[in-house]
């Protein structure tokens, strides 16, 4: 296995062109749930870490104060067409923002593809820029509470997709699941879960934490 990390600009050079077209049917209801949460709770200032093509931001009302960051230039190129001047190039482990700047930070399917060291560094940086009592909303892969035939089938489908996403991506996904999935990994930072909404029979979770 190679030790070098794939350059995100190279990794998403081709997939960025079809990313929303392929994934929107599967993610649209989740993105709408994120929009609903934001509109209901009305955070003043939001950061989207790993904003990708900016699709999530494009679904929010124009008066929402939100900025997105991503390290992939091909993704940002599309984002700047969908939501001009709202997404910038930045590494999630070195965010160009002040301490305690945001009321809400969101991340969608952007953690499971990273190795444990980078995840820890990213969570540390999120902790730095998020206000006390601020909220962290993450959508990512998890283990269902109840293992049913349907949840197993859906889980197998996700596993197949991740296996074909690239060697490094797949290895990081396996480690993510081995370490307990979204609920277990993020809860280890000691923050309080205030909301948990499962999708795809619990194989995907939308979880909101509150920073102490």
Write down the domain spans for the chain: 8-210
Q: What count of Cα atoms within 13 Å lies in the side-chain half-sphere of residue 9?
A: 7
Q: Report pLDDT for 25.
A: 83
Average pLDDT, the chain: 90
pLDDT of 21 > 70? The answer is no
Give the confidence band of 190 by pLDDT, cuts at 50, 70, 90. Answer: confident
- Fold classified for 8-210: Rossmann fold (3.40.50)
Burial of 87 (0-12, 13-18, 19+ CB in 10 A): buried
Answer whether 0.75 is exceeded by the pTM: yes
pLDDT one-digit tens code per residue, 72-120: 999 999 999 999 999 999 999 999 999 999 999 999 999 999 999 999 9
List the alpha helices (DSSP H) in the chain: 8-11, 19-41, 55-58, 73-82, 116-129, 149-163, 167-178, 181-187
CA distance 102 to 129: 6
Tokens of 88: 């910038």
Distance, CA of 45 to chain centre: 17
């Amino acid at each position: 296995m190679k030790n070098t990390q794939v350059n995100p600009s190279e990794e998403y050079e081709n997939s960025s062109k079809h990313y929303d077209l392929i994934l929107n049917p599967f993610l649209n209801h989740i993105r709408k749930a994120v929009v609903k949460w934001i509109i209901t709770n009305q955070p003043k200032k939001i950061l989207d870490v790993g904003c990708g093509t900016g699709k999530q931001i494009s679904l929010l009302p124009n008066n929402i104060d939100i900025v997105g960051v991503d390290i992939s230039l091909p993704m940002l190129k599309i984002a700047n067409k969908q939501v001009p001047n709202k997404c910038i190039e930045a590494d999630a482990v070195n965010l160009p923002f002040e301490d305690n700047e945001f009321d809400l930070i969101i991340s969608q399917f952007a953690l499971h593809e990273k190795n444990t060291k980078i995840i820890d560094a990213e969570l540390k940086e999120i902790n730095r820029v998020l206000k006390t009592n601020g909220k962290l909303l993450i959508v990512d892969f998890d283990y269902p509470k109840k293992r049913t035939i349907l949840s197993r089938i859906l889980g197998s489908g996700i596993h197949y997709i991740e296996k074909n996403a690239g060697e490094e991506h797949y290895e990081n996904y396996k480690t993510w699941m081995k370490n307990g999935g979204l609920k277990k990994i993020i809860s280890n930072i000691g923050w309080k879960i205030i909301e948990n909404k499962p999708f795809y029979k619990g194989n995907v979770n939308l979880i909101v934490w509150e920073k102490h």
